[in-house]
């Protein structure tokens, strides 16, 4: 049995940018956000930008978007360092997103995911996200997005 990995979630800071950009690039390729967009999301009043660390390694991040008069929160981006995929980092971030949405009195959590990203879709389905729509040609390469939603 593998030892339990300890994760620590905290707000992202500009000093995390280099590691975030490496995860972003390896996770999303041509659809990756640029540094300017990431800096904006760290400062924006409508976004909650968190990183997850394990053993002094930035293991992943999650960006949640919220609007004042909306009962829905959106997972705008979630990514895990490729070396740590399958180790519970993504699940830890989803758990954190659900708790955050509940604390902010949101009634649902929504996201978009590539229709070809079966690993992520399985993670979301295990967490009771349901497909609600498909957005054609959503990604840079023409891949469709599956919109998924979960009640809190």
Q: Looking at residue 82, which CATH number applies to its domain?
A: 3.40.630.30
d(CA 37, CA 33) in angstroms, rounded, equals 6
C-alpha dihedral (100, 110, 146, 61), degrees to nearest 10:
-30
Per-residue pLDDT at 2 exceeds 70: no
Q: What is the pLDDT of residue 1?
A: 45
pTM attached to this predicted model: 0.93
Average pLDDT in the 135-140 region?
Answer: 95
Say if 86 falls within a structural domain.
Answer: yes
CA 111 to chain CA centroid, nearest Å: 9
pLDDT above 90 covers a percentage of the chain that reads 89
Per-residue pLDDT at 4 exceeds 90: no
Say if 124 falls within a structural domain.
Answer: no
C-alpha dihedral (151, 71, 63, 137), degrees to nearest 10:
80
Say if 127 falls within a structural domain.
Answer: no
pLDDT category, 8, cuts 50, 70, 90? very high
Per-residue pLDDT at 3 exceeds 80: no
Q: Over the stretch 55-93, which tens digit does the pLDDT of each residue have?
A: 889 999 999 999 888 999 999 999 999 999 999 999 999
Average pLDDT in the 127-135 region?
Answer: 98
Per-residue pLDDT at 5 exceeds 80: no
Average pLDDT in the 37-51 region?
Answer: 97
In the predicted model, what is the mean pLDDT of the chain? 94
- How many CB atoms neighbour CB 52 within 10 A? 23
Q: Over the stretch 19-31, which tens digit does the pLDDT of each residue have?
A: 999 999 999 998 9
Say if 39 falls within a structural domain.
Answer: yes
Note down the domain range covering 38.
8-109
Strand partners, 75: 64, 111
Say if 105 falls within a structural domain.
Answer: yes
Number of domains in the chain: 1
- The secondary structure element, H or E, covering residue 57 is strand 57-66
d(CA 85, CA 88) in angstroms, rounded, equals 7
């Amino acid at each position: 049995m593998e030892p339990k990995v300890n994760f620590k979630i905290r707000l992202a800071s500009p000093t995390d940018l280099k590691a975030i950009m490496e995860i972003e690039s390896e996770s999303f390729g041509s659809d990756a956000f640029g540094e300017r967009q990431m800096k904006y999301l760290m400062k924006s009043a409508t976004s909650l930008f968190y990183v997850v660390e394990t053993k002094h390694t930035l293991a992943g991040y999650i960006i949640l978007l919220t609007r004042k008069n909306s009962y829905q929160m959106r997972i705008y981006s979630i990514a895990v360092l490729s070396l740590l995929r399958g180790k519970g980092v993504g699940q830890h971030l989803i758990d954190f997103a659900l708790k955050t949405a509940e604390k902010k009195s949101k009634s649902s959590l929504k996201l978009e995911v590539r229709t070809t990203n079966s690993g992520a879709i399985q993670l979301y389905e295990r967490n009771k996200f349901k497909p609600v729509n498909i957005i054609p040609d959503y990604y840079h390469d023409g891949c469709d997005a599956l919109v998924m939603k979960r009640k809190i």
